Amino acid sequence: MAFTLYTARYLLPITAPPIEDGALLVDAGRILASGSRAELRNVSQGAKEIDFGDAVLMPPMVNAHTHLELSSFPDWLNTTGEVEAPRDFVDWILRLIRVRRNLDLSQVRDSLAWGLEESLRFGTGAVGDILTTLPGVDVYRESPLYGKVYAEVLGHDAGVVSDRLETIETMLGRPPGKALNWGLSPHAPYTLSSSIIDQVFAFSAEQSLQSSIHLAESAEESAFVGSGQGAIADKLYTAAQWDPAADAASGRSPVEFLCRTGRLRRNDLLVHGVQVDDADIALVKRTGCHVALCPRSNAALDVGRAPVVDYLKADVQLSLGTDSLASAPSLSIWHELAFARSWFAGDVSPRQWLGIATLGGARALGLQGRIGQLAAGSDASFQVVGLTDLPAIDEVEEALCAAGESVAVSHLYLAAQNVLPES
């Protein structure tokens, strides 16, 4: 048999402590075993050995929430003259809308293509990507990335939304990429009327699609969902020519608004989850939803900090996302991880953060058992990571969490194929 043994100074299985002088035994694109180099050599005599030397062999990062078609947003800002910083969350949304109105399909496609390549360069093996511009879907076709493409739906016009859902339904017959599947993204509870929210979530259930929704991101969202008032009603609805009184104020938090009405289902993905209390967290747990954290985006937009410790105490499944380059400086989960480790101080252990950035994301995207851990039966998907100075084994997890921009990803294997783009 044509076994291959991949070795490095450290192996991070994620579901177990780091292994010094570690190894992966691979055949036909699957992991047969993980452990120490010595023990796996004994059971795989004659295997081809590839040694990565003074490096860490670990699962790829998983970017559970991103908008890759916005990867050129910083350049678009300059060309459209939108250089003034937004004053608040709603101003940021309005600026985003203005910039997008000036784009053509080729610009969006080029931006998406660059975002896909940039993700690979940062050691990302799977994404939960929001697709707003549906004709851009063919850009994903040749990407080796795992994950889901969430077709986005928003608006208050029932006819327009119905037409969009019909278009999405025709697209579901073909996966968006070789290792990508479809999901649905009802944008947010403040960009869909109550009746359309019902329509969209019903479609998601009928088509057996996981939903990914921006939820409890800002105080402005909480105010609008609860009372129908605030900056979203005053500015966003005015600009969109929507009637804020078209639906009665729910009197509930955004989480209550969706969970208690049965719209959210088990394994749906809630993005941000910043403006929540203990009752909301209990509802998220009871409903069985995942939460994708986007700390750098939350900090940049000044919407608050998600209660990560409370989520973990309640055993809510967490993942990490970069959001888009409209609110974050890079598409690197390594950078996101370093910021999160610092922003939340010592509240979460390095091992927990590494698990959130890998296996947590895999679970959020329905990829558990394939990616996110180095274990027998999983796909042979891993990244090879170097640091300026690798520390002793009991310090390597902390060093990786804190590394940020100093991380060097030399190889990224997905299903036993090195897919790292050339520089």
With H, G, I as helix, E, B as strand and everything else as coil, classify residue 233: helix
**Residues 173, 147: contact at Cβ < 8 Å?**
no
Kindly list the averaged pLDDT for each block of 10 residues, start to end, along the chain of length 423: 91 97 96 96 91 98 98 93 89 95 95 98 98 98 97 95 98 97 97 93 97 98 94 94 81 93 93 98 97 98 97 98 98 98 91 98 97 97 95 96 94 96 72
**Residues 350, 341: contact at Cβ < 8 Å?**
yes
Give the CATH number of domain 4-59+373-418; options: 3.40.50.720, 2.30.40.10, 3.20.20.10, 2.40.50.100.
2.30.40.10
- Among candidate residues 65, 318, 311, 113, the one with its CA nearest the CA of residue 211: 65
**Residues 252, 226: contact at Cβ < 8 Å?**
yes
Strand partners, 130: 150
DSSP single-letter state for residue 394: G
Tell me the two tokens of residue 415.
Answer: 């299903």
With H, G, I as helix, E, B as strand and everything else as coil, classify residue 66: strand
What is the amino acid identity at position 261?
T
The domain ranges of the chain are 4-59+373-418, 62-364
Q: What angle, rounded to 10 degrees, do the helices at 73-80 and 89-101 form?
A: 80
What is the value of pTM for the model shown? 0.97
- Among candidate residues 114, 250, 256, the one with its CA nearest the CA of residue 194: 250
User: Residue written as tokens 């739906």?
Assistant: 153
pLDDT score recorded for residue 45: 86
**Residues 351, 360: contact at Cβ < 8 Å?**
no
Tell me the two tokens of residue 253.
Answer: 């938090």
- Class for domain 62-364, per CATH? alpha beta
Residue 180 phi/psi, 5° resolution? Answer: -115, 140
**Residues 221, 232: contact at Cβ < 8 Å?**
yes
